[in-house]
Amino acid sequence: MLLTGQWSSGMLRTIRESGAQFSTRHLEVKWLGVSDLDLSADHCYLYEHAAAGEPSLPMAIHPELVGIDPVFETGTSLQDNYISMPEHFQRRKVAPHKYISVLIAATDSSNDPEHARVDRGSFLFETIFTHLAQRARVLLAECNEEIPK
């Protein structure tokens, strides 16, 4: 099983295609590649970056290490990091939302970074790993069915 987070637009496709190729060459190995989004999109964890969900996850582990302030600095102190990505600056000019992403997942401010919280992160962790465990049980059951008795 491979669980990934912090994915870029092409990463998930690459991981899934690599897994499919591996599976065709190694029939004895079961493959399951999922993202945190696959496991929690039904619980307001949206395709976003630096909004409410993503920083909530590390907040659940070490809240003292998570700083939200830089999220608001795309065009100021972080400008050098985004100079090659003009779409971020353009989005900041036209979108009412405060997070960095050019991927507009929420149509309102409900996913803005101010909504990142420890309890939200704990809920997302529980959701992600509960769904991951369910998929793992299915995968193991498939493996057990294939083992000759």
* Cα dihedral 12, 18, 24, 27 sign: negative
pLDDT of residue 146: 72
Domain count, the chain: 1
- The structure tokens 């997302």 sit at 124
- The structure tokens 């949206």 sit at 46
pLDDT of residue 6: 61
The residues of the chain scoring below 50 in pLDDT are: none
Which range of residues forms the domain containing residue 48? 2-146
Q: In the chain, how long is the greatest CA-to-CA distance?
A: 65
Distance separating alpha carbons of residues 128 and 134, to the nearest angstrom: 10
Distance separating alpha carbons of residues 134 and 137, to the nearest angstrom: 5
Instruction: Give DSSP secondary structure letters for the chain.
Output: -EEE-S--TTHHHHHHHHHHHHHHH-TTS---EEEHHHHHGGGT--S-SSSSHHHHHHHHH-GGG---GGGGGTTTTTHHHHTT-HHHHHHHHH-S--SS-SS---SSGGGSGGG--HHHHHHHHHHHHHHHHHHHHHHHHHHHHHS--
pLDDT of residue 32: 82
- What pTM value is reported for the model? 0.70
pLDDT of residue 149: 60
pLDDT of residue 28: 83
- Residues 98/52, Cβ–Cβ less than 8 Å: no
* Cα dihedral 45, 51, 53, 58 sign: positive
